[in-house]
């Protein structure tokens, strides 16, 4: 039985516009829980720090490395599974997993237990976006993919917004432990909605069926090159009956990775998104702590409401405008995939630094609004290109590979970097907790400049790569 028939999926012509929108909204809701559960650790950092007696370095580990450890490493094998099996099931199981571990965070009694629970959240979230991106790409053609994946990317600001509002209410009424538990349970219920209402579509349903896909049925029998010889040796540790298949899977995974990273535009979005995400994750993990230390007269509840409104308006607007603007401009010039992020990130520099150093907390929050809006512009275009440049049979893997690189560096080390630098400036240089954190956060601007460079490189190479991937004339 074929995958399409097994999943009961309609063909491209049978899928209604209303159903496509429904699927997109449900998957966006899943991504919303992804970031809600990911973000609440950073938002509640100060109460957790005081309750458990943690350092900024430990907070950085909890918001960064502990989460990213298995989130990054498991993303690729799960994506490989998603490229060959039912993607809807993987999304549903993953959502139930990370939501359950979010609830478990509320029961932790020490740093080690909390770190292990965060590792569990990371394990679940590893199976979220790669299959979701692949599903959306089978419902929306490449000409509308940046806009559709920009809608999906709204899960980031909506999730963060809900995290701020829910945390503000939860901390005032119940404390941080009950807040974790209360925010974890709804995700488990949404997992049931995903499982029983989304049908698995035919792969490549929105693309040209004649497009060549060298990876659709690829098998590797003999090692080719140094890396594959190493993988062949590694496969000998498997049971005898599984060795050939195990080596083939590892070798095809390696070949697919080499193929994707050989595409100049793919490398460009990896550079741009990794550097931009490094700054974003680092800042998000400590922004509440920054305001509480730099502007101690600002009540926590008021701060969380302000930050929630900013994320729910500015970031949402930036993500939507960025994705749809690129779809419109790229119809005439594919370089828009790079120029729109370049312009947005360059404009963001003065707003970000102003928010970090202005003395008035409300002016700082006002500057935070355009800064947040501008950092949302590149998400939809990057998500779309990772799908459009990849052969249909490795689209989930395509997202997983660039998420692996992005999150290993950005999520794993962004907040950890700020935590370590904050402690260094505060303790070794005697600048105090407030000034140390302010300098540490300001220093992530270097990552934004690297991101601009990556997207500028994209403007130079995208036309040729787009044409090659889609069989079109280069523009």
Q: Supply φ then ψ for residue 198, to 5 degrees.
A: -105, 130
Q: Are 95 and 33 in contact (CB under 8 A)?
A: yes
pLDDT score, position 27: 96
Domain ranges of the chain: 8-203+214-470
pTM of the model: 0.75
Q: Report the CATH number of the 8-203+214-470 domain.
A: 1.20.1250.20
40-79, pLDDT tens digit by residue? 887 888 888 888 888 888 877 787 777 777 777 788 888 8
132-175, pLDDT tens digit by residue? 988 998 888 878 888 888 889 888 888 888 888 888 888 888 88
Mention every residue, 6+ apart, whose C-beta is less than 8 A from residue 98: 33, 34, 37, 120, 121, 122, 123, 124, 125, 128, 187
Query: Cα Rg for the chain, rounded, in angstroms?
Result: 22
Tokens representing residue 132 in the block: 């979701």
pLDDT score, position 347: 97
Name the residue with tokens 């098998």.
Answer: 219
Name the residue with tokens 């609004």.
Answer: 369
pLDDT tens digits in sequence order for the chain, 475 residues long: 333 333 444 444 457 889 999 999 999 999 999 988 888 887 888 888 888 888 888 877 787 777 777 777 788 888 888 888 899 999 999 999 999 999 999 998 888 898 888 888 888 888 888 899 889 988 888 788 888 888 898 888 888 888 888 888 888 888 889 999 999 999 999 999 999 999 998 877 666 554 556 676 677 778 888 888 898 888 888 888 888 888 888 888 888 889 999 999 999 999 999 999 999 989 988 888 899 999 998 888 889 889 888 988 998 899 889 988 998 999 899 999 999 999 999 999 999 999 999 989 999 999 999 999 999 899 888 988 988 898 888 888 888 888 888 878 887 788 889 989 999 998 887 788 888 999 999 999 999 999 999 999 999 999 999 988 876 654 4
φ/ψ bin of 96: left (φ > 0), alpha (ψ from -120 to 50), beta (otherwise): alpha
């Amino acid at each position: 039985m074929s995958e399409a028939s097994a999943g009961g999926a309609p063909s491209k012509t049978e899928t209604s516009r209303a159903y496509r929108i429904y699927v997109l909204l449900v998957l966006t809701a899943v991504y919303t829980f992804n970031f809600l559960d990911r973000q609440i650790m950073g938002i509640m950092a100060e109460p957790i720090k005081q309750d458990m007696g943690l350092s900024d370095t430990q907070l950085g580990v909890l918001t960064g490395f502990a989460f990213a450890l298995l989130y990054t490493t498991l993303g690729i094998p799960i994506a490989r599974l998603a490229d060959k099996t039912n993607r809807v099931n993987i999304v549903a199981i993953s959502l139930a997993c990370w939501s359950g571990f979010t609830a478990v965070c509320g029961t932790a009694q020490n740093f080690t237990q909390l770190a292990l629970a965060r590792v569990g959240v990371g394990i679940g979230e590893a199976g979220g976006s790669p299959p979701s991106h692949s599903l959306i790409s089978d419902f929306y053609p490449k000409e509308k993919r940046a806009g559709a994946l920009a809608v999906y990317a709204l899960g980031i600001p909506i999730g963060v917004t809900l995290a701020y509002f829910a945390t503000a209410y939860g901390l005032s009424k119940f404390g941080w432990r009950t807040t974790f538990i209360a925010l974890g349970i709804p995700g488990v219920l949404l997992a049931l909605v995903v499982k029983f209402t989304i049908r698995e579509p035919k792969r490549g349903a929105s693309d040209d069926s004649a497009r060549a896909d060298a990876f659709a049925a690829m098998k590797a029998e003999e090692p080719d090159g140094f890396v594959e010889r190493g993988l062949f040796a590694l496969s000998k540790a498997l049971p005898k009956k599984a060795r050939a298949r195990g080596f083939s899977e590892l070798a095809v995974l390696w070949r697919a990775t080499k193929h994707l990273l050989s595409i100049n535009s793919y490398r460009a979005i990896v550079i741009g998104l990794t550097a931009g995400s490094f700054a974003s994750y680092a800042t998000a993990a400590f922004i509440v702590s920054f305001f509480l230390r730099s502007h101690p007269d600002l009540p926590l509840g008021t701060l969380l409401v302000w930050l929630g409104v900013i994320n729910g308006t500015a970031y949402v607007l930036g993500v939507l405008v960025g994705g749809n603007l690129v779809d419109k401009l790229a119809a005439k010039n594919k370089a828009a995939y790079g120029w729109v992020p370049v312009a947005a990130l360059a404009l963001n520099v003065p707003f970000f630094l102003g928010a970090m150093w202005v003395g008035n907390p409300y002016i700082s929050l006002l500057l935070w609004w355009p800064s947040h809006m501008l950092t949302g512009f590149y998400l939809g275009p990057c998500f779309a290109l990772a799908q459009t440049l990849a052969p249909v049979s490795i689209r989930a893997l395509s997202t997983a590979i660039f998420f692996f690189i992005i999150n290993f560096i950005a999520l794993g080390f962004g907040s950890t970097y700020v935590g370590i630098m904050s402690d260094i400036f505060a303790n070794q240089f005697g600048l105090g907790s407030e000034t140390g954190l302010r300098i540490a956060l300001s220093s992530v601007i270097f990552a934004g400049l690297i991101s601009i460079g990556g997207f500028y490189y994209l403007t130079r190479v995208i036309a040729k790569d787009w044409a090659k991937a889609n069989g079109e004339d280069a523009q």
